[in-house]
Structure 1
Amino acid sequence: VIDYLGEQDEPDGGGPKLLGQVIEDKIGVPIHHYVRVDFESVKKLVDAMGGVEIDVDCALYDPYGYDEGGSPLALEVGVQRLDGGEA
């Protein structure tokens, strides 16, 4: 949202600059460069890394799922490895 709103105010790239400044302010790490990717690219990146591990603190069930086929997504409590689509 910050990225999008910033671009509306400054079409020459204010969005990424604003987002970087917010991140710097919150975590104290300077942001010198950025990469803009879409969700499909993130899915491919996660898959290329062999998935990601997350620690699920409460069970989750999504009957509609995450893929076009509508396969349900069920996550149990504990550490789970997710592929790009699940993540």
Structure 2
Amino acid sequence: MNDAPRIRRSMLFMPGANARAMAKARELPCDGVILDLEDAVAVDAKAEARSQVAATVQAGGFGYRELVVRVNALETPWGNDDLAALSGL
């Protein structure tokens, strides 16, 4: 086990509602990608974004990049659905 801290020079936020941007993130020279389900996604696009993010995470292909999903706060109408969609991945 390696306990050394991971150095992150660049973390890119990608809107969870933008499938093209998430696919492009696999090729970008960054240390990490944050797939955003929170304020980067309009209310009427949250369900579709959630499905797209889950499919993107499941497909993988991010190589050495750290992959993070930013979910909605649990006290919002979307937080629990975000966690449910991602919990099995």
- Alignment TM-score > 0.5, same fold: no
Q: Work out which structure has the larger RCO, using CA pairs closer than 8 Å and 6 or more positions apart in sequence.
A: 2
TM-score range relative to shorter protein: under 0.3
**TM-score (ref. length: structure 2):** 0.22
Q: Which has the larger radius of gyration?
A: 1
